[in-house]
Structure formats: structure tokens, C-alpha cells
Amino acid sequence: MSTIGIRGTFFDFVDDPWKHLGKEQEAARFHQDGLLVVTDGIIREFGAYDTLAAAHPGIAITHIKDRIIVPGFIDGHIHLPQTRVLGAYGEQLLPWLQMSIYPEEIKYKDRNYAREGVKRFLDALLAAGTTTCQAFTSSSPVATEELFEEAGRRNMRVISGLTGIDRNAPADFIDTPENFYRDSKRLIAQYHNKGRNLYAITPRFAFGASPDLLKACQRLKQEHPDCWVNTHISENPAECRGVLIEHPDCQDYLGVYEKFGLVGPKFSGGHGVYLTNSEFRRMSKSGAAVVFCPCSNLFLGSGLFRLGRATDPEHRVKMSFGTDMGGGNRFSMLNVLDDAYKVGMCNNTMLDGSIDPVRMDVAEAERNKLSPYRGFWSVTLGGAEGLYIDDKLGNFQPGKEADFVALDVNAGPLAQAWHQSLIAEDGRPHTVEQAANLLFSVMMVGDDRCVDETWVMGKRLYKKN
């Protein structure tokens, strides 16, 4: 057994800030001088340095100075084989998939190509401060195998699975439901719960799935109820129309996944831009999650996710945030927070009543405002809750895995330190409110230059040059 200590300034969450209207700081926890005691990668104790250090004489302590240490970011929706084509010009979802995405993802049949792609993908995630992701792969098992193997070597927690598609894509890219079922079975046996790997049964989206492919997913979920289900939902208007043509017996997009018994705890649907209140309500009741991917929704012009609607207490859905890289044009969850904030503000142009007094809704408008508490909770503990991994990570609670990021709140653009000194004179937080305000500037003014170190299971895997 090896026990180490990490000393520094810590900020995490013990509750959901949307439940603490007007006093969100109650959901956060701040130690200006804290100590994290880690044994074999697992947090044993967490608290004020003065009290804890005395109880652990002689442990090796790494002092991370002048940083705010937060739990590792969780990307709830990302695409491994799009690493090389992010930022493709000019198209919305369906033509973008055909022109830029499927031709690149086909290349991941080749093991060497996939291996290089996986390394670059995980390196980019760590440099962005992301320690856990739920990732789509490709239609050939090679990409899934390589991702699980490399994540295992790095000891990173990853949720992933063979990405099934049997319609509306090039003939050499699609799979058959029979092959998909067979390969998924083998991959589940080989990788699910091996090390930190978790398996997600992954129909790519209802527009690319025949009833037989969805039946194969249903059978896999029945046979492996502890596996996750990961897919896309209601992202783009043309896609939504196409889904109802492909599945004419379903009343709405969610209805397709419901029909095949996939919606419930551990189900996540990326995007959900066009979800109706009825769909939010059904997802909420079942324990399913939506993954908000604002970088992608803006980059692909998909639309504005109704954050204030999804968080309505009447039908509050579980929610993670994701980059959706390469639909999203960044790897960084800090960029996701930046764009999420702006999506919320755009929604409020309608809700403030200035365009249409009938649609004025002050309460929903308030829920659209992504404070630093709501934002950082969503990419840590809240994201973990959405993915049903909050028993394992998401904050610094003893028993959880020691994945964390040391943020340099003064890094980023040249004037960042000067900017931050307006919030805290010496550039360091002394109170939870100051920490939150500095973090808001990281998400809105800084960028991933603020990610100084990334640690996984108590080991430093990334240090900024």
C-alpha cells in the first residue's frame, strides 16, 4: 500500500447548486489550505491541512502551490475517431457526417491508425483536464479495443462501446445487427469492469439504426443490465424529421429508444436540443440523462439547448456536459462551459419577454444562467451523477478515485493575471465566493492554458510545459 498527500487549495461540490437558489455556495466546499490523503489511488481522507497533516506524520506530501485543485473534468459525450477532423468547415449534422466524419472513422479499422488516434485523443483529453469520458468509437471493433487498452494502461476511467450503425451511411462503414450483437458481446466480456473500463451499448443514433439493430441493443441490455447505453437524441431538425420517417410507429425521438427498452438509469442521449416537455418528463421519470454539448450545437448550427427547461424541477433530467468533439470544435470542458453560458444567455433573450411577452418566464430564465457553481458542478459531480459514476468519482469524498486537475487561474491570455487581481488582489482565493469568481473567469476569459496539471488515481499524467 502506498499513501501520499496532496496539499493545496481545493474546490469541489457536496451538493447540486441548482437546489440552492440564491445561496449556491452552500453546495460547494473550499479549503484554502487543504490536504488530500490518497492510498493506492483512492481518496482516504480530505480536509484542512492543519488538522489532517498531524494525523498522518511521515507521508510524502506534494505541495501544489498557487493553483485551485478541482475534481477531474468529465466529458459525457465525445467521439474518439473524430480527433483528426474536428473543425471541418461548412455543413450541418447530416451532410457533415457523410462528407467529413464517416470517411475518417472508416480508417479506424486499421489497428495502427486507431492506436495513434487513441494516443492523441487521450493526450488531448488530459491536457484539457478531462480525466473521464464517455466516448463513441467507430463501427469496427478495432477502435473500441484500442481505446480500452490504452485507457487501461493509463488507468483512466472510460465508458465506451462499439458504435452501431446499419443505415444511412456508406456501405463499407455500416455493420449488420448480427455482427454488432456478436462483437458487442465479445467486447463486453473482454473489457466491461476490467480495470476502470465500463461498457456502453452504443447505437449511434436512431436515424442510423434499423429496428433490428435496436433489437440487438435491447437484447444486449437485457443480458447485461449493468452496462451503460449511449446514443444521440434530438440534435438537429433534419435528423429529427428523418428519425420519424425511419421509425413511423414512434410518436417522438425518445419513443424510438423507449420502444426498445433502452431508456432508464445509465442511458444517456447526447444533445436533446429539440426534446419536448413530454420527453423531458419521461426521461426524468426513468432516470435517463441528457448530455448538453453546446460547442457542438453552435459549431454545427444545431440549435440552443433549453438548459432552464431541462432543469425545471417539474421534470428535471439528469445531465452531463460534453464536448462532442469533433462536432464540438474543442477538447476542453472549459470551452464547453464558455459556450454553455452563452447558450443560456441566448435562451433568455426570448424568456425575458422583450421579443414575445407571452413567452416570458423569469424562473426558467434564472435556471438558464450558468453560474460558476452550476458550471463546475456540471463537469464534475453533476456530470458523474448523469453517468451514474458518482459513487466512484466527481468530488473529493473519501472512498472515491483521486482524479483531479490543478488550475492556474492566472494563466491564459496575457492580461489574465491583471484581470484576476480585480477579484482577489493577490490572485489567490481566500473564500469560496472568491474561488467561484476566479473560476468563472477561467471559464469565460481563460482557456485550457489554465490547466496546469492533471492527475489520475493519485498520479500526475499531465504537466503543462
Asked whether position 93 contacts ligand GUN by CB under 6 A, the answer is yes
Pick 156 or 165: Cβ nearer ligand GUN: 165
**How far is residue 447's CA from residue 270's CA, in Å, rounded to a whole number?**
24
Asked whether position 173 contacts ligand GUN by CB under 6 A, the answer is no
Pick 317 or 409: Cβ nearer Zn ion: 317
The helix or strand, by DSSP H or E, that contains position 68, with its residue range, turns out to be strand 60-71
Asked whether position 351 contacts ligand GUN by CB under 6 A, the answer is no
The CA distances from residue 435 to 22, 63, 68, 428, in Å, are: 17, 19, 8, 8
Largest CA distance in the chain: 67
Q: Applying CB under 5 A, which of residues 175, 324, 339, 390 lies at the interface with Zn ion?
A: 324
Which three cell numbers mark 44?
482516504
Say if residues 377 and 67 touch (Cβ distance below 8 Å). no
**How far is residue 28's CA from residue 326's CA, in Å, rounded to a whole number?**
32
Q: Applying CB under 6 A, which of residues 235, 258, 385, 452 lies at the interface with ligand GUN?
A: 235
Q: Which of these segments, 1-9, 93-101, 171-179, 406-414, binds ligand GUN (CB under 6 A)? A: 93-101
Say if residues 250 and 209 touch (Cβ distance below 8 Å). no
**How far is residue 394's CA from residue 382's CA, in Å, rounded to a whole number?**
7
Count of residues touching ligand GUN (by CB under 6 A): 11
Torsion, Cα of 182, 187, 190, 193 (10° steps): -130
Asked whether position 104 contacts Zn ion by CB under 5 A, the answer is no
Strand partners, 63: 7
Asked whether position 204 contacts ligand GUN by CB under 6 A, the answer is yes
* Best CA proximity match to 368, nearest among 295, 277, 444, 307: 307
Half-sphere exposure of residue 343: CA atoms within 13 angstroms, side-chain side: 27
Q: Applying CB under 6 A, which of residues 205, 260, 292, 321 lies at the interface with ligand GUN?
A: 205
Say if residues 38 and 4 touch (Cβ distance below 8 Å). yes
Pick 79 or 221: Cβ nearer ligand GUN: 79
Asked whether position 324 contacts ligand GUN by CB under 6 A, the answer is yes
Task: List the interface residues with ligand GUN, window 287-316 (CB under 6 A).
Answer: 296
Pick 70 or 101: Cβ nearer ligand GUN: 101
Count of residues touching Zn ion (by CB under 5 A): 2
DSSP strand E in 72-162: where?
73-79, 130-136, 157-161
Asked whether position 101 contacts ligand GUN by CB under 6 A, the answer is yes
Report, in Å, the least distance between residue 188 CB and ligand GUN. Answer: 22
Task: List the interface residues with ligand GUN, window 46-85 (CB under 6 A).
Answer: 79
Q: Which residue is nearest to ligand GUN (CB)?
A: 327
Asked whether position 330 contacts ligand GUN by CB under 6 A, the answer is no
Going 363 to 368 to 371 to 377, the CA torsion angle's sign is positive
| 204 contact, one of ligand GUN, Zn ion, none, CB 5-8 Å limit per kind | ligand GUN
Contact code string over 253-292 relative to Zn ion, x by CB under 5 A? -----------------x----------------------
Sites of contact with ligand GUN (CB under 6 A): 79, 93, 97, 101, 204-205, 232, 235, 296, 324, 327
Binding site for Zn ion (CB under 5 A): 270, 324
